């Protein structure tokens, strides 16, 4: 189950929705990421698709090392939304080069990228799936 939190700028009303479970994925041998949305549920099906056959226990262990979780993030410099690999260090925004790229789940109190003057509220839960 995932919860959605909406953070809203207390000055201009700009809002950002964040899901708390991120974007789990496995990386294929060719480096392509395959996202799956129900950890444990369709994990095996995704790997079967990558390998072209039903994975053995060994295959599963091998693929586990290539799994990760991308979090949704937003650039506080320009408002660009993106995803960040949780296994990697912080990387600057691909659009404006700002290093102020934050996980959308941790927006509370950060400055608003839209009006640049307000700050985000503590967030409120807006949906559950």
First to last CA, the chain: 6
Q: Which is nearer to Zn ion, 50 or 112 (CB)?
A: 112
Total Cβ atoms within 10 A of residue 45: 12
Q: Which is nearer to Zn ion, 46 or 107 (CB)?
A: 107
Q: How far is the CB of 19 from Zn ion (least distance, A)?
A: 21
Residue 20 CA to residue 128 CA, distance in Å, equals 10
Q: How far is the CB of 107 from Zn ion (least distance, A)?
A: 12
Q: How far is the CB of 95 from Zn ion (least distance, A)?
A: 5
Which positions touch Zn ion (CB under 5 A)? Answer: 9, 11-12, 14, 75, 77-78, 80, 93, 95-96, 98, 112, 114-115, 118
Q: How far is the CB of 98 from Zn ion (least distance, A)?
A: 5
Q: Which is nearer to Zn ion, 73 or 112 (CB)?
A: 112
C-alpha dist (Å) from residue 54 to 13, 29, 42, 46, 69: 49, 16, 12, 10, 23
Torsion of CA 97, 68, 51, 57, to 10 degrees: 160
Q: Which is nearer to Zn ion, 20 or 121 (CB)?
A: 121
């Amino acid at each position: 189950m995932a919860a959605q939190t909406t953070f809203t700028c207390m000055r201009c009303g700009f809002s950002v929705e964040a899901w708390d479970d991120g974007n789990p994925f496995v990386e294929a041998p060719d480096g392509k990421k395959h996202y799956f949305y129900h950890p444990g549920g369709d994990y095996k099906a995704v790997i079967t698709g990558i390998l072209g056959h039903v994975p053995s226990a060994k295959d599963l262990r091998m693929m586990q090392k290539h799994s990760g979780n991308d979090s949704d993030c937003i650039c506080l410099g320009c408002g660009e939304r993106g995803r960040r690999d949780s296994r990697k260090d912080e990387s600057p925004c691909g659009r404006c080069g700002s290093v102020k790229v934050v996980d959308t789940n941790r927006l509370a109190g950060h400055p608003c990228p839209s009006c640049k003057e307000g700050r985000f509220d503590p967030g409120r839960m807006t949906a559950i799936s």
